[in-house]
C-alpha cells in the first residue's frame, strides 16, 4: 500500500492496485463521524457502442447503463437496500455520461457495509421478470425529467450542439429504448464494464487504512476474475460545428429558461493536459460570466438574469462544452446581449489582475469542497478516470498563466460552435 | 467520537453560539433573525436577504462587494428565508476559507466578520431608505422567484398541498411571499421594517470553525454593534388540529407525470415528548428506501419512481409526495392509504423498526460532519425550547417501541389529498 501525503492540505491518501486490476484509494478523515464509500465503473450513457474483448462489436439500447444501475440493487435473496438499512447505512447510485457509481454513507459498521457494497456490485442478478418490472419505475423517472424545465433546457443544448456523439442521448434513455432492454444484453454490458480492472473503489472516513485495505484485498482474493483485455469503445466522428444553432421547447413554466454555450474543439486530451485546459477555460468563463464580472452585473441590473445565473464547463476525452444561463424574462434579448458583448472582451482580453482574483476564488472554493467527503470521493474518481489527480488541481491552478486563459478565450469563443436552448412558457 | 458542542454567549442582546473545531477547512459565520410568519410581513421579510446582499457602506456597488468576496479567497455569502412552523427565519451568512491551508496566510476570518457585520448593520442607504435601484431590481427578482415556483413541479405540488391544507393559517404562506404585496413595498417602508426587525427580534449569530469562544466573542464585539434591551419573542401557535373531512384538491397544468401529495396532521410537534416516536413513525412509513411507501408504491406496484414522506416538525405536519401516471392516481391513493392503516394497526415488522432506528441514528450522526447542519440542528432545538442534544435524541430513538408508534398513529389524521394533473379531458374531482 502506497502512502501519498498532501502537506499543505493536511490530507494523506493510501493507494493500492489489486491483482485483479481494481484500484483502491483510502482517505482517512479522523474527527469525522461518517464513512463514505463509492465503487465506480468507467461506464456511462455514452458507452453504447463497444467491443467485448475477444468478441464482436456491439451496439446497445439507449439508457442501458442507467437501467443496469437500477437492477444491480436486486439480489436473489431480496433488495440490497434492506441490507444497508439494517446496518444504518444510506445507499444510493447514479449514472452519468461517463460513469456509474454505487455508494453508501454510514457512521457505524463500516466493514460490514463495505463488504455489502463490493459484493452486491460484483453479483448481478437479472431475470426476465425483474427486468420487466423495472421498466415501469424507470418510465416514471423519465416522465419526471420530461416535466423538469432545467433538465429539458440542458438536454436541448447538448442536442443542439451534438449531431452524432452519444452525449446527446438522455442518460435514462426513452420509454421506447428501454422497452428493448432484456436480461441478456444487461449481462453483456455487465461482463464488459464491471470487471475490476475498469473500476475504482474510494473510501473516505474515520478508519484505519491498513484494516480497510486488508478487508478489500481479502474480499477480492476470494473471487475468481480472469484477466480482461482493454475494452474498445467507439465514438462517431463529430463535426466541429454545432448541429443546430437553437433548440426550443414549450413547457408549463412561469419564467423562460435560456442556456447557451460553445461546443469544444480540443477534445482529444487526457491527464494533466486535460485538467490544464479545463482550469484555463473555467477561469476564462468566470471572467466572462462570474458574479463579479462586468457582463454579469450589467445583465443583472437590466433584469435579464437573476442570481441563479451560472456557468459550467465539461471536458472529457471524447466531448466537451461550456454552458451558461438560467431563468430570464427575455431569452432572445439575453442572447443578443451576449453576442454583442463577448466580441468586445475578445478584443481587449482578460487582464492579469482579473486572473489573479479568480485564481484566489477558485483556490478558496476548492478548500470549501474539501469539507465534503462525497465531493472528494466523486471528484477524485473523475480525475483518475481522465488520467489525472484531484490533488494536482492546486499546483496546476497556481501555475496557470494569464496567457493560457486568453488563449482559451480566443479558441473557445467561436460563433460557429455556439448554440442556444430555450424553454418558453406555453 | 469527539463531541461537538455549541457554547452560547450573550453579547449585548445578541446570542452568539460558538462551535470550536478544526474539522473543517473553512470558517462559517451565520446570522438568524426570527419573525412571526404572517401575511403582513412575509413578502417584505423575503425581500430582505437579496437587498442586503447588494451593497454596504464600504462596498456600495454590487460589483465592489462581489470582488471583495473573491479577494477573500472566494468567501461565500449566502442569504435566504425559510419557514420553521409559523416562524419566518431570515438567514445571512459567510463561509471563509481557513488560511492555514493556503500559502498566503493573511487573516481572512477577521475581514470576513467585519464584512458580515457591515452588511447587516450598515447597508447602502439613501436618506432613511434602502437604495432605490436595488429595491426595485430585487422586487423584480422576487416576483420571478414566486412565479417560477411552478417550474419545479415537485416543489410546486408540495407548496400547493400545504397551502390548501392550511388555508386560513399562516403556515399556508409561501416562504418567498406573495405577488400582491410587491407593489406596496418601497425603499422607505422596507428600511423601516428592517431597522425594527434587527433591533427588536431575536438574533442568533453562529460560528463554526477554528477559533475559541473568547476569540469569537471579541470579534463579534468589534464588528457587530451591540445594544441592551430585551428582544420580543415570537409567538408560536399550537399544533392540535382535528380534521372533520378530508379535502381533495386538483390542480391542472400541462404535465406529463401526475403528482400525488397528501397532508396529515400529527398533533405532535418538536416541542412534545412523543416527538421522537413521531420521527420513527415517519421513518417506517416513508423516510427511507426500506420504508412502506417506497417498498409498496415503487418496488411492489412499480407505480412511481419516488414515494416518500416528510415531517415539518414545528408545525406537526406529515406530507407524502409521489410522482405517478395520472391514470394510476386511484391505485396509488389506495396503496398509500393502506400504509397509513397498517401503521394504525401496528403492522410493523421487527426489521422495519430496527432498520428505521439504525437509519435515523445514522442520519443524526452524519449531521456532525457539515457545519451548516450543526447550526441547523442547534437552531431548531433552540426554537423548540426543548434542550435536546443529538446524543439524547439518539438514545430516545433507541427506546421507541411499537406501542409508542401506535400511539402516534392514533393521532395522525389525513387532512388533504392533492393532485396535480394534465389539462386533458376528464372529471376534475375524482372519487375514490
Q: Are residues A200 and A251 in the same domain?
A: no
Nearest to A9 by CA among A397, A272, A368: A368
Cell output for B308: 416518500
Q: Identify the band that residue B178 occupies on the pLDDT scale cut at 50, 70 and 90.
A: very high
For position A180, which CATH number holds? Answer: 3.30.830.10
Exposed, middle or buried: residue B201 (CB in 10 Å: 0-12, 13-18, 19+)? Answer: middle
Predicted confidence at residue B105, as pLDDT, reads 80
List the 186-245 stretch of A: residues with Cβ below 8 A of B. Answer: none
Q: Determine the Cα–Cα distance for residues B422 and B256; give it in Å rounded to an integer.
A: 7
Give chain B's end-to-end CA distance (angstroms, integer). Answer: 52
C-alpha span between B163 and B274 (Å, rounded): 26
Angle between helices B402-411 and B275-282 (to 10 degrees): 90
The 10 Å Cβ neighbour count of residue B11 is 16
pLDDT at B3: 61
Grid-cell match 462570474, residue found: A290
Task: Give B247-421's CATH code, choosing from 3.40.50.2300, 3.40.50.80, 3.40.50.970, 3.30.830.10.
Answer: 3.30.830.10
Nearest chain A Cα to B135, which residue?
A: A301
pLDDT in tens, B381-414: 999 998 899 999 999 999 999 999 999 999 999 9
Shared domain for A282 and A385, answered yes or no, is yes
At A97 the three-state DSSP class reads coil
How far apart, in Å, are the Cα atoms of A45 and each of A105, A171, B420?
A: 25, 5, 31
Residues A171 and A283 in one domain: no
Residue B36's pLDDT band (cuts 50, 70, 90): very high
Write the pLDDT tens digit of every residue in A328-377. Answer: 999 999 999 999 999 999 999 999 999 999 999 999 999 999 999 999 99
Contact A8 B101 (CB under 8 A): yes
A205 and A307 share one domain: no
| pLDDT at residue A284 greater than cutoff 60 | yes
Distance (Å, rounded) from C-alpha A338 to C-alpha A324?
11
pLDDT single digits (tens) A70-80: 999 999 988 89
| Record: contact B366-A364, CB cut-off 8 A | no
Confidence of residue B431 (pLDDT cuts 50, 70, 90): very low
**Residue A238 belongs to a domain:** no
Q: Which residues of A are catalytic?
A: 69
Picking from B26, B290, B305, the nearest residue to A81 by CB comes out as B290
**Predicted confidence (pLDDT) at residue B428 exceeds the cutoff of 60:** no
A86 neighbourhood in chain B, CB within 8 Å: 351, 354-355, 358
Q: Residues 45 to 64 of A: which have CB under 8 A from any B CB?
A: none
For A79, which residue in chain B has the nearest alpha carbon?
B290
Residues A254 and A217 in one domain: no
- Give yes or no for residue A289 having a pLDDT over 60: yes
Residues of chain A neighbouring B141 (CB-CB closer than 8 A): 303, 306-307
For residue A214, what are the contacts with CB-CB under 8 A and spacing of at least 6? none
For position B225, what pLDDT does the model report? 85
- The pLDDT score that the predictor gives to residue B226 is 78
DSSP label of B348: -
Q: How far is A143 from chain B (nearest CA, A)?
A: 6
A10 contacts on B by Cβ (under 8 Å): 101
Average pLDDT over residues B148-170: 96
Residue B34 has pLDDT above 50, yes or no: yes
- Do B304 and A292 lie within an 8 Å CB cutoff? no
Residue range A307-318, pLDDT digits in tens: 999 999 999 999
Q: How far apart are CA A12 and CA B153, in angstroms?
A: 44
Picking from A106, A134, A306, the nearest residue to B362 by CB comes out as A106
* Helical (H) or strand (E) element with A289: helix A271-289
Domains of chain B, residue spans: 7-223, 247-421
Q: Which three cell numbers stand for residue A343?
A: 466580441
Q: Are B262 and B246 in contact (CB under 8 A)?
A: no
- Same domain? For A210 and A271 the reply is no
In chain B, what percentage of residues exceed pLDDT 90? Answer: 91
> What 8-state DSSP symbol labels residue A45?
T
How does DSSP assign A192-203, residue by residue?
A: HH-SGGGEEEEE
Residue whose cell numbers read 410587491:
B182
In which domain, by residue range, is A316 found?
246-425
pLDDT digits (tens, 9 = 90+) for B232-286: 889 888 899 999 999 999 999 999 999 999 999 999 999 999 999 999 999 999 9
CB-based contact A393:A279 (threshold 8 Å): yes
CB contact (8 A) between residue B70 and residue A357: yes
Same-domain check for residues A292 and A392: yes
Q: What is the pLDDT of residue B1?
A: 38
Cα separation of A260 and A311, whole Å?
9
- pLDDT tens by residue, A210-249: 999 999 999 999 999 999 888 999 999 999 999 999 999 9
**Average pLDDT of A382-404?**
96
Chain A, 357 to 386: residues with Cβ < 8 Å from chain B are 357-358, 360-365, 367-368, 370-373
Distance from CA of A416 to the nearest CA of B (A): 31
Instruction: Supply the pTM of this predicted model.
Output: 0.95
A121 vs A72: CA distance, rounded Å: 6
Same domain, A227 and A342: no
What is the number of H-type helices and E-type strands within chain B?
14, 11
Q: Which of B24, B144, B305 to mutate to test the interface with A (most CBs of A within 10 A)?
A: B305
List the single residue in A108, A254, A364 with the smallest CB-CB distance to B147.
A254
- 0.90 surpassed by complex ipTM: yes
Average pLDDT over residues A6-32: 96
Domain boundary among A233, A264, A295: A233
- A410 to chain B, any CB pair closer than 8 A? The answer is no
Q: Calculate Rg over the CA atoms of chain B.
A: 23
Mean pLDDT of chain A: 96
Total domains in chain A come to 2
B316 or B432: which leads in pLDDT: B316
Q: Which of A133, A255, A257 sits opposite B147 (nearest CB)?
A: A255
**A163 and A265 inside one domain:** no
- A189 vs A173: CA distance, rounded Å: 16
Half-sphere exposure of A219 (CA within 13 A, CB side): 23
CATH number for the segment(s) B7-223: 3.30.830.10
Q: What is the pLDDT of residue B426?
A: 55
Nearest CA in chain B to A358: B70
B370 and A149 in contact by Cβ < 8 A? no
Amino acid at each position: 500500500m502506497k502512502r501519498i501525503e498532501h502537506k499543505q492540505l493536511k490530507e494523506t491518501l493510501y493507494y493500492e492496485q489489486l491483482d485483479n486490476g481494481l484500484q483502491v484509494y483510502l482517505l482517512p478523515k479522523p474527527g469525522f463521524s461518517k464513512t463514505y464509500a463509492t465503487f465506480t465503473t468507467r461506464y456511462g450513457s455514452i458507452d453504447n457502442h463497444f467491443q467485448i474483448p475477444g468478441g464482436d462489436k456491439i451496439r446497445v439500447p439507449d439508457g442501458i447503463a442507467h437501467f443496469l444501475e437500477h437492477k444491480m440493487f436486486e439480489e436473489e435473496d431480496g433488495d440490497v437496500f434492506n441490507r444497508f438499512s439494517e446496518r444504518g447505512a444510506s445507499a444510493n447510485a447514479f449514472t452519468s455520461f461517463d460513469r456509474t457509481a454505487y455508494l453508501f454513507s454510514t457512521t457505524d459498521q463500516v466493514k460490514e457495509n463495505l463488504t455489502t457494497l463490493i459484493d452486491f456490485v460484483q453479483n448481478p442478478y437479472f431475470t426476465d421478470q425483474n427486468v420487466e418490472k423495472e421498466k415501469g419505475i424507470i418510465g416514471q423517472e423519465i416522465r419526471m425529467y420530461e416535466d423538469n424545465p432545467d433538465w429539458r433546457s440542458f438536454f436541448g443544448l447538448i442536442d443542439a450542439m451534438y449531431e452524432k456523439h452519444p452525449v446527446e442521448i438522455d442518460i435514462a434513455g426513452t420509454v421506447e429504448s428501454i422497452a428493448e432492454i432484456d436480461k441478456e444484453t444487461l449481462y453483456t454490458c455487465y461482463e464488459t464494464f464491471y470487471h475490476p480492472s475498469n473500476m475504482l473503489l474510494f473510501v473516505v472516513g474515520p478508519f484505519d487504512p491498513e484494516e480497510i485495505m486488508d478487508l478489500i484485498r481479502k474480499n477480492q482474493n476470494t473471487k475468481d476474475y480472469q484477466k480482461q483485455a482493454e475494452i474498445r469503445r467507439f465514438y462517431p466522428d463529430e463535426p466541429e460545428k454545432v448541429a443546430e444553432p437553437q433548440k426550443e421547447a414549450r413547457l408549463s413554466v412561469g419564467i423562460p429558461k435560456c442556456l447557451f454555450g460553445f461546443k469544444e474543439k480540443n477534445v482529444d486530451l487526457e491527464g494533466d493536459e486535460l485538467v490544464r485546459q479545463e482550469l484555463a477555460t473555467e477561469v476564462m468563463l468566470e471572467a466572462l460570466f462570474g458574479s463579479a464580472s462586468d457582463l454579469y452585473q450589467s445583465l443583472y441590473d437590466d433584469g435579464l438574469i437573476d442570481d441563479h445565473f451560472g456557468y459550467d464547463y465539461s471536458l472529457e476525452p471524447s466531448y466537451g462544452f461550456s454552458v451558461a444561463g438560467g431563468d430570464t424574462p427575455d431569452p432572445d434579448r439575453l442572447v443578443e446581449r451576449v453576442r454583442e458583448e463577448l466580441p468586445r472582451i475578445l478584443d481587449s482580453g482578460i487582464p492579469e489582475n482579473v486572473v489573479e482574483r479568480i485564481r484566489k476564488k477558485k483556490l478558496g472554493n476548492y478548500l470549501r469542497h474539501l469539507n465534503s467527503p462525497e465531493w472528494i470521493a466523486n471528484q477524485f474518481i473523475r480525475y483518475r478516470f481522465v488520467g489525472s489527480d484531484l490533488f494536482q488541481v492546486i499546483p496546476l491552478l497556481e501555475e496557470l498563466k494569464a496567457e493560457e486563459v486568453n488563449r482559451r478565450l480566443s479558441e473557445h469563443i467561436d460563433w460557429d460552435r455556439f448554440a442556444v436552448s430555450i424553454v418558453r412558457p406555453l | 467520537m469527539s463531541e461537538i458542542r455549541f457554547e452560547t454567549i450573550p453579547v449585548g442582546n445578541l446570542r452568539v453560539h460558538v462551535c470550536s473545531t478544526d474539522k473543517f477547512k473553512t470558517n462559517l459565520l451565520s446570522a438568524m433573525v426570527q419573525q412571526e410568519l404572517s401575511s403582513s410581513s412575509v413578502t417584505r421579510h423575503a425581500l430582505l436577504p437579496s437587498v442586503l446582499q447588494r451593497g454596504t457602506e464600504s462596498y456600495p456597488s454590487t460589483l465592489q462587494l462581489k470582488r471583495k468576496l473573491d479577494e477573500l479567497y472566494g468567501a461565500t455569502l449566502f442569504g435566504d428565508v425559510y419557514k420553521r412552523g409559523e416562524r419566518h427565519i431570515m438567514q445571512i451568512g459567510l463561509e471563509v476559507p481557513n488560511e492555514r491551508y493556503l500559502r498566503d496566510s493573511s487573516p481572512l476570518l477577521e475581514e470576513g466578520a467585519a464584512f458580515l457585520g457591515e452588511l447587516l448593520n450598515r447597508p447602502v442607504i439613501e436618506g432613511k431608505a434602502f437604495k432605490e435601484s436595488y429595491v426595485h431590481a430585487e422586487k423584480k427578482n422576487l416576483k420571478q422567484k414566486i412565479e417560477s415556483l411552478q417550474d419545479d413541479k415537485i416543489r410546486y405540488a408540495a407548496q400547493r398541498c400545504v397551502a390548501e391544507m392550511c388555508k386560513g393559517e399562516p403556515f399556508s404562506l409561501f416562504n418567498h411571499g406573495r405577488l400582491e404585496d410587491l407593489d406596496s413595498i418601497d425603499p422607505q417602508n422596507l428600511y423601516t421594517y428592517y431597522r425594527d426587525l434587527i433591533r427588536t427580534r431575536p438574533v442568533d449569530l453562529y460560528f463554526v470553525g477554528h477559533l475559541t469562544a473568547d476569540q469569537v466573542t471579541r470579534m463579534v464585539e468589534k464588528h457587530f454593534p451591540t445594544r441592551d434591551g430585551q428582544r420580543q419573542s415570537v409567538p408560536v401557535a399550537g399544533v392540535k388540529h382535528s380534521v372533520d373531512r378530508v379535502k381533495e384538491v386538483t390542480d391542472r397544468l400541462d404535465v406529463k407525470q401526475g403528482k400525488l401529495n397528501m397532508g396529515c396532521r400529527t398533533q405532535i410537534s418538536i416541542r412534545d415528548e412523543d416527538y421522537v416516536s413521531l420521527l420513527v413513525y415517519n421513518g417506517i412509513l416513508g423516510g427511507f428506501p426500506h420504508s412502506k411507501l417506497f417498498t409498496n408504491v415503487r418496488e411492489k406496484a412499480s407505480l412511481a419512481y419516488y414515494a416518500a414522506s416528510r415531517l415539518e416538525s414545528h408545525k406537526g405536519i406529515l406530507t407524502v409526495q409521489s410522482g405517478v401516471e395520472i391514470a394510476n392516481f386511484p391505485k396509488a391513493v389506495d396503496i398509500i392509504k393502506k400504509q397509513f392503516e397498517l401503521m394504525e394497526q401496528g403492522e410493523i415488522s421487527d426489521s422495519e423498526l430496527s432498520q428505521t432506528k439504525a437509519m435515523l441514528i445514522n442520519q443524526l450522526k452524519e449531521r456532525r460532519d457539515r457545519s451548516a447542519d450543526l447550526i441547523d440542528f442547534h437552531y431548531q432545538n433552540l426554537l423548540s425550547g426543548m434542550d435536546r442534544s443529538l446524543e439524547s435524541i439518539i438514545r430516545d430513538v433507541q427506546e421507541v417501541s411499537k406501542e409508542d408508534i401506535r400511539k402516534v398513529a392514533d393521532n395522525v389524521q389525513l387532512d388533504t389529498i392533492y393532485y396535480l394533473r394534465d389539462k386533458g379531458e376528464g372529471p376534475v374531482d375524482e372519487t375514490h
